Chains A and B, each alone.
Chain A
Amino acid sequence: MKRREFLKLSAMLGAGAATPALMTGCASPRLPGSGQVEASPIVCNVCFWRCAGTVYKEDGQPWKVEGNPEDLHSLGRFCTRGSGGLGMYRDPDRLRQPMLRVTENGQQTFKPVSWEEALDFIASRMSNIAETHGEDRLCLLSHGVGGTHFRRLLGAFGSTGFAQPSFAQCRGPRDVGFALTFGEGVGSPDRTDMENSRCIVLIGSHLGENLHNSQVQTWIKAVENRATVITVDPRFSVAAGKSRYWLPIRPGTDMALLLAWIHVLIHEGLYDQDYIARYATGLEQLAEHVLPFSPEWAFLETGISADVIRETAREMARHAPATLVHPGRHVTWYGDDTQRSRAIAILNALLGSWGREGGYFIPERVSLPSYPVPEAPEPRTDWMAEVQKDYPLAPAGITNVVIENSIGDDAFFKGWFVYGTNLPYSVPSSADQIQAAAQSLDLMVVVDTMPCAITGYADVVLPECTYLERLDPIRNSPERQPALAVSFPAFEPRYDSKPAWWIAKQIAERLDLGAYFPWEDYAEEVDWQLQQVGSSLEEMRQLGVKSFPRTTAKFFEPGEAVEFRTPSGRIELYSEMLASFGHDPLPKYAPPRRPPERYFHLSYGRAPAHTFGRTINNPTLFELMPENAVWVNPLVARDFALSSGDYVRLRNQDGVVSNRVRVRVTERIRPDSVFIVHGFGQKDPRLRLASQRGADDNHLMTRVLIDPIMGGTGMRGNFVTLVPEEQLA
């Protein structure tokens, strides 16, 4: 039965389960919610959108998680992953106790140790590094709120090295590109006013599969309001399926399309002339620059017809300024990503959508004082000037550059704290470098809830408790309305896991830095901060989320004089800053490489059931999507004699071969591309559900296209071919 096979993809039905003999007399289970129900406010940490909600227990047992209706991140509804968050708590494969790398009988192994022993070891290694190399040689590599505590610890110690893969492997180019243009980045949550947009343009952004909660909700609101959605994607994404226009662009040619759109807006006089005259600089140079980039020219590059390019540009202009050309989120694609983000920013400027309803709003957060602790010592060196000197325009740590600067005797960094980020699956093709860094570093501490590839390189592995078992720093995000949210522990920590604040404080005390954590329980600090703005821990335990009045306008007033935080104080269509650093002041197009015969562009993305590898072993979410599949067009499937469900391996242009992965034959992908969901293909056998399931895209990215402006790792220059299982044997 065809449908039955289909269902297995999304949800496992019961029919395949063990069938007991005829029976009778089962007791009726109690109806859910008829017992003793307790509720506790939470801020979700399954992804980094940080939705506020409520955890329910029934008769002391974990029951369910729901969104908080007062919360702007969730709008009262959790996404698939958030609804499955209890799986993170329940996962039997969690890290259970501290582990120390020891050599026994000539072989390295991890030995379970007490917290005391693990923390003593860390403090003593840190002291050694300070004596031998200086106290500025540690770096925090982090993804997640708990990193805050380790940042304070390392800052107090004298090390300000800090990098998050969410910059150079994800959002960095767009924030730099927008900052160069408007003087500010997009931030997170993205400052997009989609609920009021009349036209939304998605450049490879797969909202709906990427399930950042309020992003999806506000976008779908626009769909419901019949806004024009224009989706540019080589794949018929979920978003493309909701769009009036799907532009199945040739991979890597987005810049050509953007330049042609700018060409049409300027040369047909469709741009917001008053807005540009009032706020922007560089129109003349831009107009001249895009003169050759006609829709006819772009057709030859992108495969999108000139008529469609004109029609969509006019559609954008018709709805401006309530037209949002979406900035995207993961945008480290081809190495020209800051420039492509600049082109997107310029397009928004021409449409007058920055600072306008239906475009980009001006976010505001609560003015929340920091807890008083001693000022951190002035670091001995400016690590960024030292380590990231090739990227002076990068405002944040570049994880791949930090890794490079941790290899060898003369490397700058001598110790890492890795918090909540599985680096070998986040930084493309980095496993060998991380291995080399692990050889050079005097200390690598990994703090995580789950075993994963990075824990294998560590000297010490520390089991953190999940977000459901700890008090996290107050969420104070830039949003439509300023608001605070607090995440309270709903459960006692399982096994011998501990919250990040406790771990950081314990290490600090061993280094005579206890003054930076001057409380017994982190709750004291959170309560103090809340008291400063007229709230308290007790109030937040009732509310979960508390809104505060805005003190600034959400949009520019008509004709308002605005000072942009750029060198000129204006929106910079032409960037003197880029020119002065030797980069192109206006975005240029370079044709991408085409795949060799029988090779395909390797495209990757998200699925709504998972936050990349972070959730892959979560029992609830695993059931929904236990492995990924490689999407191939039916023409390709015929060529390779493949059917849906067959196993293949992917081999890239440099001969790197993936884990085996099932084929999904679908019309929803261009014949020159394949697609897999990122995060699968985990190899750690301690992940008993996820191990060896599906393919990992990250290891196939051996051709990394570095962004010369901000150092990001462009990941979309890789090609793969399909190798049927029997050919490998």
Chain B
Amino acid sequence: MKVYAMVIDTNLCIGCGDCVVACKTENKLPAGLNRDWVVEATRGRYPDLTTEFRSERCNHCTHATCVHACPTGATYTWQNSNIVLVEPSKCTGCKACIAACPYDARLIMTPDGYIDKCTFCHHRVEKGQDPACVSACPTHCMHFGLLSDAQSTVSRLLATRPHKALLEETGNEPQVYYLT
């Protein structure tokens, strides 16, 4: 199986939200909906502080609970990879996947009502391009590639840099990593 991963360097992320705008325009999302978002986490007390910005989205888990939860098979993985997609024509809008997602990464498409989510821009990936958010990031803090390829940038970063993923305890095996 091909494992695609996103690796984001929180030491460089400035929380500017360019990833959010780039995703929204690339994927032509309607007003009010976004597939990714930025979290700011500040710790400590003035003046001993740290702030971490994280660009968050679907984690394209290799054990994706949403895929198992979907009763109609609308949620599926793309071309023997971990990229989780939704087929609108099979989606009944039942929201089982929303309940199953630990990351709150799914949204209800307006006005149609099917469930939408980050696709890792598979339409770009198949042309050899990075997802729109990664391509736009002005700090170059985001990286994308195949974790199943040991020579890829993402593999090398994870091999050499301290990192974390979100809610790993769920056992979902999330594939968005944060360099710390």
Residue positions of A touching B, CB distance < 8 A: 1, 3-4, 6-7, 9-15, 17-29, 31-34, 63-66, 77-80, 83-84, 86, 208-209, 211, 213, 216-217, 220, 223-224, 236, 238, 241-242, 246, 248, 608-609, 619-621, 623-625, 633, 666-671
Contacts and interface: CB of A to CB of B under 8 A. Distances in A.
Contacts of B28: 29, 32, 63
A213 B138 CA distance: 7
A220 B32 contact: no
Given A77-B138, A241-B51, A12 B39 contact: no
Contacts of B44: 667
Interface of B: 11-12, 14-18, 20-22, 24-28, 31-34, 36-40, 42, 44-47, 49-51, 53, 72, 87-94, 98, 104, 106-114, 116, 123-124, 132, 135-141
Contacts of A27: 88-89
Contact of B21 (A1, A77, A83, A213): A83
Contacts of A15: 98, 104, 107-108
B110 to A, nearest CB: 5
Given A15-B107, A17-B107, A211-B16, A24 B91 contact: yes
Given A246-B47, A620-B25, 18 more contacts: A3-B39, A3-B104, A6-B39, A14-B34, A22-B93, A26-B89, A27-B88, A77-B138, A79-B16, A80-B18, A80-B20, A83-B21, A209-B14, A224-B12, A241-B49, A241-B51, A609-B16, A667-B45
Contacts of B87: 28
A28 B88 contact: yes
B17 A80 contact: yes
A13 B107 contact: yes
A225 B53 CA distance: 19
B107 A10 contact: no
Contacts of B42: 236, 666-668
Contacts of B72: 24
A670 B93 contact: no
Contact of A25 (B89, B132, B140, B141): B89
Contacts of B112: 20, 23, 26
B17 A78 contact: no
A667 B123 contact: no
A564 to B, nearest CB: 34
A1 B44 CA distance: 22
A179 B32 CA distance: 48
A173 B12 CA distance: 31
A214 B77 CA distance: 38
Nearest to A609: B17
Contacts of A621: 21
Contact of B104 (A4, A23, A28, A633): A4
A77 B25 contact: no
In the complex, the 4 A-B pairs of residues with the closest C-beta atoms, listed nearest first: A14-B107, A20-B113, A11-B37, A608-B16
Given A26-B88, A224-B12, A624-B21, A10 B33 contact: no
A621 B28 CA distance: 15
Contact of A620 (B21, B33, B92, B93): B21
A214 to B, nearest CB: 9
In this complex, the member of A27, A217, A667 whose beta carbon has the largest number of chain B beta carbons within 10 angstroms is A667
Contacts of B123: 31-34
A66 B130 CA distance: 13
A668 B112 CA distance: 42
Contact of B40 (A10, A22, A248, A619): A10
Contacts of B31: 619, 623
A59 to B, nearest CB: 11
A11 B32 contact: no
Nearest to B91: A26
A12 B91 contact: no
A66 B135 contact: yes
Contact of B51 (A18, A23, A34, A236): A236
Nearest to A25: B89
A217 B137 CA distance: 10
Contacts of B11: 223-224, 242
Given A17-B107, A20-B113, A78 B136 contact: yes
Nearest to A237: B51
Contacts of A13: 33-34, 37, 104, 107
A22 B94 contact: yes
A83 B20 CA distance: 10
A17 B110 contact: yes
A23 B88 CA distance: 10
Contacts of A18: 110-111
A575 B139 CA distance: 40
A238 B135 contact: no
Contacts of A670: 46
